[in-house]
């Protein structure tokens, strides 16, 4: 029997999140982004100082352990207090663990956490060419809108997907 644990990360876990991101980021985005854009965005989002800043700015990170091995992480934050919308900022699993049901468990854990905080909706961004879009659709998310986000000299061409929680 597998021992699956999902726990809230602290600043002491930032090196673990960085290690996971290092193993996940390239294989996830290489099919849809240039190597230069992947490197640039990784530096903007997953360096130790960048992760610490995200935590300080209100992102809550969750770590997923499978038999005491860190295999994935997620983060969420409040997006719109008045409309009761939270945002799933990140959700990633090691490539060898994708397709095993762990991503759904991690996503459900985020949904449960934000629901307890009073969320009516959970939004997420997914690149319009990312195959993860079908995973989110299977989990009840629908395209809410499209947006193009400048990140330095690059663009993220995303769908904003939304799920009603309450």
CATH code, domain with 55: 3.40.630.30
pLDDT band at residue 2 using 50, 70 and 90 as cut-offs: confident
pLDDT tens, 51-69? 999 999 999 999 999 999 9
pLDDT tens, 89-114? 999 999 999 999 999 999 999 999 99
For residue 122, pLDDT over 90 is answered with: yes
Both structure tokens of 64: 């997923």
Q: How much of the chain is in helix, strand and coil states, percent to nearest 5? A: 40, 35, 25
Output the CA–CA distances (angstroms, integers) from residue 29 to 39, 53, 59, in the order listed: 10, 23, 22
Cβ contacts of 113-119, under 8 Å, gap ≥ 24: 113/60, 113/62, 113/76, 114/76, 114/86, 114/165, 115/165, 115/166, 117/78, 117/86, 118/84, 119/84, 119/85, 119/86, 119/165, 119/166
* Cβ-contact 91, 71 below 8 angstroms: no
**Predicted structure pTM score:** 0.95
- Burial degree of 24 (CB within 10 A; 0-12, 13-18, 19+): buried
**Helix (H/G/I), strand (E/B), else coil: 64:** strand
For residue 1, pLDDT over 70 is answered with: no
Residue 9 φ then ψ, to 5°: -85, 155
Confidence (pLDDT) at 166: 74
- Burial degree of 154 (CB within 10 A; 0-12, 13-18, 19+): middle
Number of structural domains (the chain) is: 1
Q: Which domain holds residue 57?
A: 4-164
Q: Which helix (H) or strand (E) holds 164?
A: strand 154-164
């Amino acid at each position: 029997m597998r021992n699956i644990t999902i726990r809230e990360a602290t600043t002491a876990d930032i090196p673990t999140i960085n290690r996971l991101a290092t193993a996940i980021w390239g294989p996830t985005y290489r099919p849809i982004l240039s190597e230069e854009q992947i490197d640039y965005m990784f530096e903007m989002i997953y360096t130790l100082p960048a992760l610490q800043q995200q935590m300080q700015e209100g992102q809550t990170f969750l770590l997923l352990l499978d038999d005491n091995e860190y295999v994935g992480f997620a983060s969420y934050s409040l997006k719109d207090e008045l409309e009761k919308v939270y945002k799933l900022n990140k959700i990633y699993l090691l490539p060898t663990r994708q397709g095993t049901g762990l991503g759904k468990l991690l996503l459900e854990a985020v949904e449960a956490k934000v629901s307890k905080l009073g969320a009516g909706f959970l939004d997420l961004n997914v690149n319009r060419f990312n195959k993860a879009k079908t995973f989110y659709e299977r989990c009840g998310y629908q395209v809410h809108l499209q947006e193009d986000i400048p990140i330095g000299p690059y663009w993220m061409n995303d769908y904003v997907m939304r799920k009603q929680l309450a």
